[in-house]
């Protein structure tokens, strides 16, 4: 990553974006620097199909875009080139009543490649295709590395070798990895494309939800996928080794399309081994020096893997006070801190930790969530206040050394799911750290708990990991079931409270 990124935003293109769009287009296609879209072209495109034009912004700067039309399937089936499919560059081929979303351009500024921003644009196109109930996405992809092999093989052979991963093409390899399949090769597609020898590959992604009859499509995401990481405590040589291990798990859960990755409380404790010659209080304060670099790297992971990451917790020094905190690193590049409110006697005696004073729900692209660290879930007032703020999912990173401690966290989490009519996801560390004082052994079983009603498992457990084994747990939760429960459940706990007799409120809001 070239520089620190504060925020990534995906939205529809606006005409005010044009100057930045033009600059990024020119720098993305240096071999065709004079072939960028003019402001009149973009204005015309926005006037006929505004929802089909997407941009990626990093810290307010346009660094990528995906432009599209809706065209007739018969037009796609015919032999065509870029000029013809784009209606002589005037977009006269656009037909809002047609079946195919045709991609006419997609690019990412060279300085921002490697962050999987192109994947976000492709995923957004797929979502748009589903929302508009279109049959498929089709576009003709360039094969810019073909020039290096043109004397030795035909385009057909080249494409097959790329498909089999014997060769790498920066455009085609990416498109094939995004579930597009080859329809055919097009000759003389884009005039002046010397890198591809003017060949292109017509690619297609089919919308499995396409329905020939008109229907209403719910645009809001209601199925949320959770990726829980049951972290094995192991010796780590340095913070880079921690990042390598963490990235492995983030890659795994994001590869399954998870919306959230949840790490356990104090999962960075193996780094304390370097300070074992110090007192326990001094050692954990040395560990706190890693917290800001860890937050920054996890922000990068959230962007690169397009996933919201809950970083468990870690020690954090502020004005001489030691807190137990974590960070919600969102996939838009922003981050927010959460703090452990209730500190256990062990944390006070051995480390001199203090409890935080602020807690709240967090707005995410998957709705409102709450995060409580371990011991905090044993105090029902906190989660009830979060439920009052609209929380649908409560995440609980924990660290327990015995099965007794785990049992407290487990059963309190189950109670919180029932009484607040929400999902509760918990994840902890397993294994042992013989060379780290006060962090000897760990016991955990990652789980997702649900309310107790007919729409949910009868035991209130959506899924559980194998106890004391390093693994991930991938779980889908349905927010629509919570909405149904709130209004039509066998009991309506949140609605039936006797607020005429009692109430819970924050002292400092």
DSSP 333-346: S-EEEEE--SPPHH
Taking the C-alpha atoms of residue 272 and residue 202, their distance in angstroms, rounded to an integer, is 54
- What confidence tens digit (pLDDT) does each residue in 106-146 have? 999 999 988 999 999 999 999 999 999 999 999 998 898 99
Query: 402, 331 in Cβ contact below 8 A?
Result: no
- The region of weakest confidence among 27-31, 150-154, 232-236 is 27-31
What is the rounded average pLDDT of the residues 29-38?
74
Q: Please name the residue that has the structure tokens 């690019």.
A: 107
- What confidence tens digit (pLDDT) does each residue in 49-68 have? 999 999 999 999 999 999 99
Beta bridge partners of residue 206, listed in sequence order:
136
Catalytically active residues, by annotation: 265, 340, 374
What domains can be seen in the chain, in order of their start residue? 8-206 (3.40.630.30), 223-488 (3.60.110.10)
- The region of weakest confidence among 31-40, 42-51, 84-93, 270-279 is 31-40
What tokens does 288 get? 């706190």
Q: Is the pLDDT reported for residue 2 higher than 60?
A: no
Cα 377 to chain centroid, rounded:
25
What is the rounded average pLDDT of the residues 200-213?
88
More confident residue, 386 or 234: 386
| pLDDT grade for 171, boundaries at 50, 70 and 90 | confident
Taking the C-alpha atoms of residue 207 and residue 481, their distance in angstroms, rounded to an integer, is 25
Beta bridge partners of residue 478, listed in sequence order:
223
| Four-residue CA torsion sign, 263, 265, 269, 270 | negative
Widest Cα–Cα separation across the chain: 84
Q: What is the pLDDT of residue 36?
A: 80
What tokens does 228 get? 């829980």
| pLDDT grade for 213, boundaries at 50, 70 and 90 | low
DSSP H or E stretch at residue 175? helix 172-177
- Could you tell me how many residues make up the chain? 509
Q: How far is CA 28 from CA 33, 106, 142, 469, in A?
A: 9, 10, 14, 46
Taking the C-alpha atoms of residue 2 and residue 300, their distance in angstroms, rounded to an integer, is 11
What tokens does 62 get? 């346009």
What is the rounded average pLDDT of the residues 165-194?
89
Phi, psi of 330 (to 5 degrees): -85, 155
Q: What is the pLDDT of residue 33?
A: 58
Q: What is the pLDDT of residue 4?
A: 81
Taking the C-alpha atoms of residue 409 and residue 415, their distance in angstroms, rounded to an integer, is 10
Taking the C-alpha atoms of residue 324 and residue 314, their distance in angstroms, rounded to an integer, is 6
Q: What is the pLDDT of residue 85?
A: 93
- What confidence tens digit (pLDDT) does each residue in 71-101 have? 999 999 888 999 999 999 999 999 999 999 9
Closest CA to 413 of 376, 367, 444: 376
Residues 6+ apart with CB under 8 A from 239: 271, 290, 293, 294
């Amino acid at each position: 990553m070239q520089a620190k990124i504060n925020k990534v935003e995906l939205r529809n293109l606006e005409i005010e974006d044009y100057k930045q769009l033009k600059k990024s287009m020119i720098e993305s296609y240096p071999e065709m620097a004079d072939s960028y879209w003019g402001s009149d072209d973009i204005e015309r495109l926005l006037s006929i199909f505004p929802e089909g034009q997407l941009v990626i912004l990093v810290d307010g700067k346009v660094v990528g875009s995906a432009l599209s039309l809706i065209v007739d399937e018969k037009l796609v089936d015919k032999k065509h080139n870029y000029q013809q499919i784009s209606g002589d560059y005037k977009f006269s081929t656009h037909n809002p009543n047609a079946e195919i979303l045709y991609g006419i351009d997609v690019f990412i500024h060279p300085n921002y490649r490697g962050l999987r921003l192109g994947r976000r644009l492709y995923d957004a196109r797929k979502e748009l295709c589903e929302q508009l109930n279109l049959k498929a996405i089709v576009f003709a992809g360039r094969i810019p590395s073909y020039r290096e092999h043109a004397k030795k093989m035909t385009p057909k052979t080249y494409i097959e070798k790329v498909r089999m991963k014997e060769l790498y093409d920066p455009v085609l390899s990416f498109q094939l990895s995004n579930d597009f399949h080859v329809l055919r090769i097009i000759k003389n597609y884009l005039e002046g494309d010397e890198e591809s020898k003017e060949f292109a590959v017509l690619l297609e992604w089919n919308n499995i939800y396409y329905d020939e009859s008109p229907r209403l499509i719910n645009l809001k995401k209601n199925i949320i996928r959770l990726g829980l990481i049951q972290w094995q405590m192991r010796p780590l040589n340095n913070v880079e080794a921690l990042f390598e291990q963490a990235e492995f798990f983030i890659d795994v859960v994001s590869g399954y399309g998870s919306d959230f990755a949840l790490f356990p409380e104090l999962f960075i404790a193996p780094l304390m081994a370097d300070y074992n010659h110090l007192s326990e209080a001094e050692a954990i304060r040395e560990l706190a020096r890693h917290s800001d670099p860890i937050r920054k790297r996890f922000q990068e992971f959230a962007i690169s893997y397009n996933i919201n990451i809950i970083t468990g917790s870690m020690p954090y020094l502020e004005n001489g006070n030691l807190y137990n905190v974590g960070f919600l690193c969102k996939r838009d590049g922003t981050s927010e801190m959460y703090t452990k409110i209730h500190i256990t006697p062990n944390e006070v005696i051995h480390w001199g930790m203090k409890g935080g004073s602020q807690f709240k729900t967090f707005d995410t692209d998957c709705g409102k969530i709450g995060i409580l660290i371990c011991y905090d879930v044993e105090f029902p007032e906190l989660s009830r206040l979060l439920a009052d703020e609209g929380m649908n999912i409560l995440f609980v990173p924990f660290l327990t050394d015995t099965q007794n401690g785990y049992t407290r966290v487990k059963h309190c989490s189950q109670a919180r799911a029932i009484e607040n009519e929400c999902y509760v996801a918990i994840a902890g560390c397993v294994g042992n750290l013989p060379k780290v004082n006060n962090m000897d052994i760990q016991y955990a079983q990652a789980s997702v708990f649900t309310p107790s009603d007919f729409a949910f498992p009868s035991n209130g457990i959506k899924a559980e990991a194998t106890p004391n084994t390093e693994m991930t747990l991938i779980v889908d939760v349905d927010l629509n079931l919570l909405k149904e429960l709130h209004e039509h459940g066998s009991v309506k706990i949140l609605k039936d409270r006797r607020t005429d007799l009692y109430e819970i409120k924050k002292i400092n809001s």
